[in-house]
Structure 1
Amino acid sequence: MNHEVIDGVPVLWAEAPGPLEAVLMFGCGVRDETMRTLGVTHLVEHLAMSTLPRLRHEHNASVDLLTTQFTCTGRPEQVTAFLAAVCEALDALPLDRIEQEAGVLAAEGGQVADSATGELLSHRYGVQGLGLAAYRGPGPDRIPVEAVRDTVARHFHRGNAVLVLTGPPPAGLRLPLADGERPDRSAAQPVLHTGPSWRQEDVPGPGIALRGDLDDLALLLACKILTERLRATVRHRHGLAYEVGGDALHAGPGLGERTVCLDAREGQETRVAELLWEEASRLAAEGPTEAELAEEVTDLRELYEDPRSIGLEIGQAAGALLFDDGYEDPQTRLAALAKVTPGQAREAFARALETVLLVVPCDAEVDVALPDGRPLPRYSCSDDTGLPAGATVLRPPLLARLRSGEARRARLAVDARGLWMRGSEDDVHHVPFAEVVAVEMRGPGRVVFGRNTCMIPVVPELWAGIGEVVDAVDAAVPEHLRYAASALRPAD
């Protein structure tokens, strides 16, 4: 791997088969946004790409949780022209095209993570950082232009960029980006819930998240072995799932989440969740076999030695450079992987299981125990068990109360500290005004989003006489956190 600097931008390259590929990577993704500005990075990417002329070579751009990438494949002169055009566009975004590109984004839809992974991240981090993966945000037509300008100024500059090439830099390559300081990545993402616990969400199947050291190779191998065991058991032996996969998500220096998620055949969601938990518990108790470890190391060796993986390897090194993370070459990694023992893998996985978050589909109910015999607790977004004394309390409209016992039990309360909502099963949701991350204005009503993942709708369809509560919300929540409901989405 070669390292150069062009116009202040680090350039990593290595010879690889095929035409020249380029990835201009910025250390900015969804985790750098807020609930109020969710989608702004994707909008920046679209605005930049909208300036390009018709191109007759492969090119694209994408945004994930951590990075924004502009990619192309072609002849050296095509790559040179593409990269220069992207850099120039980022320096002078066509802000007059925001309305059109917002419409394109609404049509595109899409998510930065599958639904189970998104819910697990929200469970862990709340409505901030990585936890934003579970949310849609205000809608692309409600992103303030000031947020676009701020995102470009803070993140899309040479101090926060790396270029990856699968060949030497072409003659005349220029990267005319603005100056800027790299964001401070020394702190870990704030955590809402350390675990362990489980919760129900609208997901196609169960999944788990384990918080730990992403550089821990014993944990890496243990999670890969768990994935293979689940594929053999849940898919091939029982025929209850199709997708079985895992991911690693960076949350700070050396820290992050390892996830394992499955889909589930309709009606078998609970059984698949139980099998996932059984295999995870067995791995924590017994560990893997020598043969399983050797198989995973062999798979990784095949991947690292495949010439087609050179681009991926350089991309990994670029990510490490952007986020001030350590990078080891494949040979060093393989030598360390081969030294991992079954005991080390078992200990690493058992330690990580102490932080486990389990998400299951809404119709699934689980009754499972941790390795020490304690029941895995069900997560609650609030510790409140009742409504506060002296608060203003609303009930649903009369007609709803006449028709439904659930409506007769429901209550909405407000005082100077925040909102409380009691549901039909006496569960209480609470959003302190100090922790509101966004307020969607729906006609006379409001939908209030809390950092703790509670969402409280203050709308006339659900509550009678909402005026006083709406006034309290508007008085307590800063104006910059409030927005009108998107015109590009149907009300839900």
Structure 2
Amino acid sequence: MQRTTVDGVTVLWAPGPDPLSATLTFGCGARDESFRTIGVTHLIEHLVMSTLPRLHHEHNASVDLEATRFTASGRPEQITAFLAAVCAALSELPLDRIQHEAGILTAEASSVTSPAAAFLLNQRFGARGPGLAPYTGPGYDRLSADAVQAHAAAYFTRVNAVLQLTGPPPQDLRLPLPEGRPPQRTTPAARTGASWDEAPIEGAAIALTMPLGSPAAALGLALLEHRLTELARHRRGLSYAVQVESSLRDEHTLDTLLSLDSRPGQEAGIAGLLWQEALRLGRELPSDDELKEEIEGFRESYGHPRAVEAELDLAATSHLFALPSRDAAARLAALRAVVPEEVRACFAQALVTAQLAVAPDVEPRLVAPDGRPLPRGACWEHGGLPAGEVFRPPLLARARYGAARRSRLVLTGDGVAELDGDGRLHRIRFDEIVGVERDGGDRTLFGASGCLMELSPQKYSGCDKVIRAVDAAVPAGLAYEASALAPRDPEKP
């Protein structure tokens, strides 16, 4: 692999199959947004692509949790023109197209991860960083031109970019990107400890925290994926596929998210199978033959004719996020040096903080690594109401519904608490609110922990006082009007 620079941008290239392929990668993804600016990275990508003329060669762009990529393949002169147009658009975004692209993005309704991975990341991090994955946020039409420009200036810069090429750089290649250095990523975990919770998924999923670049972790995860496929699909016919995703936490840690779909009615069995197989890897040594088989799979993937693009992407990621980098030969040698005890120890450590997501109405009876019942982990808690002014649902609602009779809303000295009809206590302090949606006289509060609370005079008598307290306490920049592009509740005025 060769390395050079063009206009201050790092360029990585290695010979690959024709035609020439290029990927301009920026170290900026959905995790670099705030709750108030959810979707801004995707909007910038759309604004850039909207400036391109009609092209007759393959080209695309994408945004995930970690990065934004502009890709193209074709003749060298086509690649040069494509990259020049992308850089020009990033230097002068067509901000007048924001509302137009907002409509397109709303129709596209894409997501940066699977629903299972998004839920687990939210459980782990709350409504910050990778934990923003499941939210739609205020809506693309609620992103201001100033917010779009500020985000582009912070992240879409030459120091935060890497160009990957499957051939030598064209002689007239230019990458005129702006100066600027992105903020450092810091997102502490909001919850620790092994737990489970219900999620809006079909099947089950697990989050495992692993050492970044660990060959023992890589082998163990490959083996877990294989075992689950054999058991759930080939032997029992309960599931079709196992999906593995990951999220970079920091330079030392990777959050791995593994999910299985489920045949209808088998969700509880899938959840139990997933948890027990993960536990087995943390308690029992895998066989030498099992590890050899997984190593052979890695060897095949590293030697694939199109592996050059994957290798370039790994090298770009390492450069952008200052991570250790090893080529395929070094990674394969490290895998071959792993002994079974290293795999067992890696999983035993990961299971201490593992989080299991199960389908709705599934309540698993599982055992944590310490032998105790696996607890439920969520933003709510059981307990008495905190001190403060108490509000109840309207009298008519209390007469009709048991849940309304049990519900309470409390305005405390530093925030709001709600006891819902199921006896679950939710708390959001004013200083942890990351977003407030205004919809007429109603408010929806989003807390940093991932907790959500709806405030409405129709739901709680006298709630206007709570709403005024929220409006006074929360910075104006965190509040926004409900998106005009979102479906309206027909029962609301």
Q: Same fold (TM over 0.5)?
A: yes
Cα deviation code 1:138-184 (max 9, x no counterpart): 11111122210111110111011000001111120000111112443
- Among 457, 466, 480, the residue aligned to 1:460: 457
Q: 130-139 vs 371-380, which deviates more?
A: 371-380
| Distance in 2 separating the partners of 1:383 and 1:262 | 28
Q: Does residue 288 of structure 2 align to residue 275 of structure 1? A: no
Q: Deviations over 1:388-436 (max 9, x none)?
A: 22x2222222332222111110111112311111111211000010100
How far apart are the structure 2 equivalents of 1:445 and 1:48? 36
Matched, 1:22 2:22: yes
> Map of 1:205-220 to 2, 5 A cutoff?
205-220=203-218
Aligned to 1:266: 264
Q: Is 1:371 paired with 2:354?
A: no
Residues 180, 349 of structure 1: alpha-carbon distance in 2 compared, 3 angstrom cutoff: same
> Which letter does structure 2 place at the counterpart of 1:237?
R
Name the residue aligned to 1:94: 94
Q: Residues of 2 paired with 1:491 and 1:129: CA distance?
A: 28
Query: Does the 8 A contact of 1:409 with 1:424 survive in 2?
Result: yes
- The whole-number CA distance in structure 1 between the counterparts of 2:397 and 2:4 is 68
Q: 1:267 is paired with a residue of what secondary structure?
A: coil
Distance 1:467 1:248 in 2: 43
Residues 206, 28 of structure 1: CA spacing in aligned structure 2 closer, same or farther, 3 A cutoff? Answer: same
Unaligned 5+ residue runs, structure 2? none
Report the CA distance between 1:460 and its aligned residue: 3.3
Give the Cα–Cα distance (whole angstroms) in 2 for the partners of residues 72 and 215 of structure 1. 29
Instruction: Name the amino acid aligned to 2:311.
Output: E
Unaligned runs of 5+ in 1: none
**Number of the residue aligned with 2:337:** 339
Question: For residues 6-61 of structure 1, what are the alpha-carbon distances to aligned partners after superposition, in whole Å with 9 as ceiling and x for unaligned?
Answer: 00000000010120110001111111101110000111111111111111111111
Deviation at 1:189, TM superposition (A): 2.6
Which whole-Å CA distance do the structure 1 matches of 2:435 and 2:341 have between them? 47
**1:410 matches 2:407:** yes
Cα offset for 1:382?
A: 4.2
Identify the range of structure 1 (87-96 vs 138-147) with the bigger mean alpha-carbon deviation.
Answer: 138-147
Q: Superposition RMSD on alpha carbons, in Å?
A: 1.2
C-alpha distance in structure 2 between counterparts of 1:402 and 1:242, whole Å: 47
* Superposed displacement of residue 321, structure 1: 0.1
The residue identity in structure 2 corresponding to 1:107 is A
**Does the aligned pair in 2 maintain the 1:418–1:431 contact within 8 Å?**
yes
Contact 1:269 1:363 in 2 (8 A): no
**1:349-402, CA deviations, whole angstroms, 9 ceiling, x for partnerless residues?**
11111110111111211011123311111113145622222x222222233222
| Partner AA of 1:434 in structure 2 | D
Aligned to 1:194: 192
**Cα drift, residue 222 of structure 1:** 0.8
Residue 477 (structure 1) aligned to one of 467, 471, 474 = 474
Helix, strand or coil: the match of 2:459?
A: coil
The aligned counterpart of 2:35 is 35
Q: 2: CA distance between counterparts of 1:204 and 1:106? A: 24
Contact preservation (8 Å) 2:456, 2:464:
no
For 2:123, the equivalent position in structure 1 comes to 123
Distance in 1, matches of 2:26 and 2:263, equals 39
Q: Amino acid of the residue matched to residue 264 of structure 1?
A: S
Alignment of 1:55-454 (within 5 A): 55-185=55-185, 188-383=186-381, 385-389=383-387, 391-454=388-451
Contact kept, 8 Å, 2:382 with 2:423, in 1: the verdict is no
| In 2, Cα distance between equivalents of 1:225 and 1:287 | 12
Q: Could you state the TM-score of these two structures normalised by the residue count of structure 2?
A: 0.97
In 2, distance between residues paired with 1:121 and 1:215? 20
Q: Deviations over 1:260-284 (max 9, x none)?
A: 1111111111111011111111121
AA in 2 matched with 1:79:
I
Contact 1:155 1:182 in 2 (8 A): yes
What SS does the corresponding residue of 1:307 show, helix, strand or coil?
A: coil
Offset of residue 469 of structure 1: 0.9
Give how far 1:209 is off: 0.6
Measure the CA separation in 2 of the matches of 1:23 and 1:468. Answer: 53
Alignment check: 8 A CA contact 1:212 1:255 kept: yes
- Aligned residue pairs: how many? 489
- Distance (Å, rounded) in 2 between the aligned partners of 1:385 and 1:367: 23
Tell me if the contact between 1:214 and 1:220 (Cα under 8 Å) persists in the aligned partners: no
SS across alignment from 2:427: strand
Give the % identical residues.
50
Structure 1: distance between partners of 2:422 and 2:311: 51
State whether residues 204 and 359 of structure 2, in contact with CA within 8 Å, keep that contact through their aligned partners in structure 1: yes
Per-residue displacement from partner, 1:243-272 (whole Å, max 9, x unpaired)?
A: 212122211112120121111111111111
Give the whole-Å Cα distance in 2 for the aligned partners of 1:271 and 1:233. 11
Cα distance between partner residues in 1 of 2:93 and 2:369: 54
Question: Per-residue CA shift, 1:280-303, capped at 9, x if unaligned?
Answer: 111211131111111111011001
TM-score by length of 1: 0.97
